[in-house]
A and B are shown apart, each in its own frame.
Chain A
């Protein structure tokens, strides 16, 4: 079952295991420059507020009600990342594993393929938690992603429109499948009391002429700047995942300019620019997991034009304040250290 709790989606499968719970947060962040450089991971600036679409039934497009799910506000050219939070099973010191599918406009953000039910291995069309702690964008090359950036659906920028030529779905789609319980118990046997492993701590103004009564407030996600992020290969067998009990959710992306008209609540203040954030000496992040291999990028996603490339083609200025920055304050997280091994930092 899926619940909306404290601005996050909680997927739980009590019929599989009482603690089989995955929480997915949608983190606000700064938009990395969309230029030729490759950037480290930007920070989390807090979770986007979320609502059930059913609670706004009088004010949202009928298609949103038909699809069900939840909604969150994004400004045009605002970025987001997904935070996957798992629960450690106490007697095994191991979070319950999940396979997670992420699509935007019903195009898979990992494989670039159209949405289908279930999981596929070649090419892999899912992520695995807890190994994959975050997802910041489209997997365009091995170890490289392009940041999720919101653009009005219908403007031609979204991955969906670039791949299918249509602005039909928008939003973000999720499906989660837990590992089968017998597989989990076999792969992760009960442990005695051990030391705990190191915890993984871990605006632009939209078109003001938009009339929300007449026009859809839909946003779609488009590929932005390049970022270092590995999407890890599934180390388990495809049959280890319990595809009979998956949960899926449609996350509607609502233009922040009409969020208040729909919900009566103010959207969050726009995120700072990458330049002002970096000039303030605030940290950027890198994450390594030496124990895992990364999936290749999806050819269809690697061919997508970034928002900046496309706006140049169109003669638009879709991304003001897109100045190149040089992150100096870099915090490195490295997974796969032996217990007690001291983590090397940046000197």
Chain B
């Protein structure tokens, strides 16, 4: 059992209830993996797949790729690159924001700078 596998199976089965193309076999084919592998991932018998496959699964299922990557214990390559460019700044920022409520994080914005006219 794994968070990622449980979540994947739950969402896929919800979709399958309304559309047969979300069977393990058909979904696996569309994202380019073997059905048996996808089934094992859902049951937690295999580690979560690669970032590319997770992004494809998220796209097929209409889910947020960052949320699915997080459930798999991963951070997207794009976010990693952003942090690597300014590691200290972003590490400090994320640590300072970690306990902030969602609404406070959402209010963090870039203001237009006013200068000397």
A69 near B109: Cβ-Cβ < 8 Å: no
0 or 1 for each of B68-108: is its CB under 8 Å from A? (1 = yes): 00000000000000000000000000000000000000010
In the docked arrangement, what's the CA distance between A1 and B111, Å? 6
Which residues on A sit within 8 Å (CB–CB) of B113? 52, 54, 68-69
Asked if B111 and A68 make an inter-chain contact with CB atoms under 8 angstroms apart, the answer reads no
Whether A68 lies near B109 (C-beta < 8 A) is no
Instruction: Decide yes or no whether B115 CB sits under 8 A from chain A.
Output: yes
A67→B110 contact, CB < 8 A: no
Chain A minimum-CB-distance residue to B110: A3
Contact partners of B114 in chain A: CB under 8 A: 2, 68-69, 247-250
Interface string of A226-265 (1 = CB under 8 A from B): 0000000000000000000001111000000000000000
Residue in A closest to B112 when the chains form the complex, CB atoms: A2
B side interface size, CB within 8 A: 10
Contacting residues, chain B, for A52 (C-beta < 8 A): 110, 112-113
Q: How far, in whole Å, are A67 and B115 apart by their CA atoms in the complex?
A: 4
Say what secondary structure dominates the interface of chain B.
loop
A67–B112 touching, CB < 8 Å:
no
* A9 part of interface (Cβ distance < 8 Å): yes
Q: A115: which B residues are within 8 A, CB to CB?
A: 117
Tell whether, in the assembled complex, residue B109 and residue A66 are in contact, meaning their CB atoms are under 8 Å apart: no
* Bound-complex Cα distance A68 to B109 (A): 17
Task: Tell me if A65 counts as interface (CB < 8 A to partner B).
Answer: yes
Interface size grouping (class) on chain A: 20 to 34
Q: How far is the CA of A164 from the CA of B111 in the complex (A)?
A: 32
A85: CB under 8 A from chain B? no
Determine how close the nearest CB of chain B comes to the CB of A81; give it in whole angstroms. 21
B109/A250 in contact, CB under 8 A: no
Q: Which residues of A (18-66) have their CB < 8 Å from a CB of B?
A: 52, 54, 65-66
B residues less than 8 Å from A68 (CB atoms): 112-116
B117's nearest neighbour on chain A, judged by CB, is A67
Q: What's the least CB distance linking A176 to chain B, in Å?
A: 12
Alpha-carbon distance between A190 and B61 when the two chains are bound, in angstroms:
43
Contacts of B107 in A (CB 8 A): 14
Is A173 in contact with chain B by the CB < 8 A criterion? yes
Which of A14, A54, A169 has the most chain B CB atoms closer than 10 A to its own CB?
A54
Contact: B116 with A66, CB < 8 Å?
A: yes
Least CB distance, A188 to chain B, in whole angstroms: 25
Chain A residues near B111: list those with CB within 8 A: 1-3
A144 interfacial contact with B, CB 8 Å: no
In the complex, what residue of chain B is closest to A69 when comparing beta carbons? Answer: B112
Q: Does A101 contact B (CB under 8 A)?
A: no
- The residues of B that contact A54 with a CB separation of less than 8 Å are 113
Q: Is the CB of A169 within 8 A of B115?
A: no
Give the residues in chain B near A65, CB-CB below 8 Å: 115
CA of A9 to CA of B111, assembled, Å: 10
Q: Which of B109, B115, B116, B117 contacts A1 (CB 8 A)?
A: B109
Residues of B within 8 A of A (CB): 107, 109-117
Q: List 18 A-B contacts (CB under 8 A).
A: A1-B109, A2-B114, A3-B110, A4-B110, A4-B112, A14-B107, A52-B110, A52-B113, A65-B115, A66-B115, A67-B117, A68-B113, A68-B114, A115-B117, A169-B117, A250-B114, A250-B115, A250-B117
A2-B112, A4-B110 known; 18 other A-B pairs, CB under 8 Å?
A1-B111, A3-B109, A3-B110, A4-B112, A9-B112, A14-B107, A52-B110, A65-B115, A68-B112, A68-B113, A69-B115, A70-B112, A106-B117, A115-B117, A169-B117, A173-B117, A248-B114, A250-B114
